[in-house]
Chains A and B, each alone.
Chain A
Amino acid sequence: DTEVTQTPKHLVMGMTNKKSLKCEQHMGHRAMYWYKQKAKKPPELMFVYSYEKLSINESVPSRFSPECPNSSLLNLHLHALQPEDSALYLCASSQDGASYNEQFFGPGTRLTVL
């Protein structure tokens, strides 16, 4: 099973709302990732968790707050977002953080900030 699941599929929120994106994998992977993708652009890395510890933060604004409750789950908490944060948010996982491991992506959450 190479499935990564994400909820919700779509999310519309106002700039004062607080919401969370969820990601789950049951492949026993120990590295998980958040990416942001704007239309016609490649995914941009936001955060990497390796063995449930945050290992990379690509200078993401603090209005995005990641959380890794356990090895299967990854959350992205959103607060006071801006309209330019509207994008497809992709979660991915890999066996571990080693460079030769492929990443498997979830279907994404399409976020619209009004």
Chain B
Amino acid sequence: RKEVEQDPGPFNVPEGATVAFNCTYSNSASQSFFWYRQDCRKEPKLLMSVYSSGNEDGRFTAQLNRASQYISLLIRDSKLSDSATYLCVVNFNKFYFGSGTKLNVKP
């Protein structure tokens, strides 16, 4: 079983839509959680850390459910510029990456 699992997508959504990604992790002792965004042929960029109480940054909301061992990312009012691959990252002694979820926002 992979340490971190994500639905690879692609998620094809119209501009303005709300889209949610989930990610599950296998190690209950995992200590910290992040969402990164990666554009084609570019490096991963930190989108947001995920805190136990949930956190929001503009149109982006991240949630952590330790009991069920999953994290989620909600994007509201999708923009064309949100099109990218979203990587779920879980840290237990080192970073474990999910395989990424591809998002395509269409006009």
Residues in chain A within 8 A of chain B (CB atoms): 41-43, 45, 48, 56, 88, 90, 99-108, 110
Contacts and interface: CB of A to CB of B under 8 A. Distances in A.
* Minimum-distance CB pairs A-B, first 3: A42-B97, A99-B31, A105-B43
Contacts of B92: 99
A102 B91 CA distance: 10
Interface in B86-101: 87, 91-95, 97-100
B44 interface: yes
Contacts of A42: 87, 97-100
A110 B93 CA distance: 27
Contacts of B43: 90, 105-108
B42 interface: yes
Nearest to A101: B32
Contacts of B98: 42
Nearest to B98: A42
Interface residues of B, number: 20
B89 to A, nearest CB: 8
30 contacts: A41-B99, A42-B97, A42-B98, A42-B99, A42-B100, A43-B97, A45-B94, A45-B95, A56-B94, A90-B43, A99-B31, A99-B32, A99-B91, A99-B92, A99-B93, A100-B31, A100-B32, A101-B32, A102-B34, A102-B46, A102-B49, A103-B46, A103-B95, A104-B46, A105-B43, A105-B45, A106-B43, A107-B42, A108-B42, A110-B41
Nearest to A39: B41
